[in-house]
Amino acid sequence: MAGMSDQRKDKKNKTGGPAVARKDLAGEKLGEAFDELIGANAAFRDALMTAQRAAQSDISVLIIGESGTGKEILARAIHQRSSRRGKPLVDVNCAAIPDSLIESELFGYERGAFTGARAE
């Protein structure tokens, strides 16, 4: 972990300033799963606080955002800090599923709900 901290010191954010880990901004540690998430933006800090609360609860989480923004990394961090960490993480790329099938893919379906619906 010491090597990881040294690497963080060398990273720069898009504005050219040093990137700051969330745990350093407020002087509190969010937990190892969140240690690798780096950012000083207020919206990012808010997202991490929300993620921490989500990890402590027993809810499903939907993470949305542009491609390449770190949605899967955040999802894995939440999962690693949750009570479900010993179970498989189910991540779904909704962009790859046609609009007409997204509901049945996420929530299931009953036999006869549409042509070819055989499972219950």
Q: What is the DSSP string of 99-110?
A: HHHHHHHHH---
Average pLDDT of the chain to the nearest whole number: 73
Q: Looking at the 3D structure of the chain, how many domains does it have?
A: 2
**Cα 120 from Cα 106, distance rounded (Å):** 14
Write the pLDDT tens digit of every residue in 10-31: 444 444 444 433 333 333 444 5
Residues 37 and 64 in one domain: yes
| Helix, strand, or coil (residue 39) | coil
Residues 54 and 83 in one domain: yes
Considering only 15-24, 60-69, 74-83, 99-108, which range has the smallest mean pLDDT? 15-24
Residues 55 and 103 in one domain: no
Residues 10 and 61 in one domain: yes
Q: Does residue 11 contact residue 40 with C-beta atoms inside 8 Å?
A: no
> 66 is in which domain, residue-wise?
2-88
Residues 49 and 22 in one domain: yes
Residues 49 and 10 in one domain: yes
Residues 99 and 48 in one domain: no
**Structure-derived torsion over alpha carbons of residues 94, 97, 98, 99, reported in degrees to the nearest 10:** -30
Q: Give residue for tokens 């542009």.
A: 66
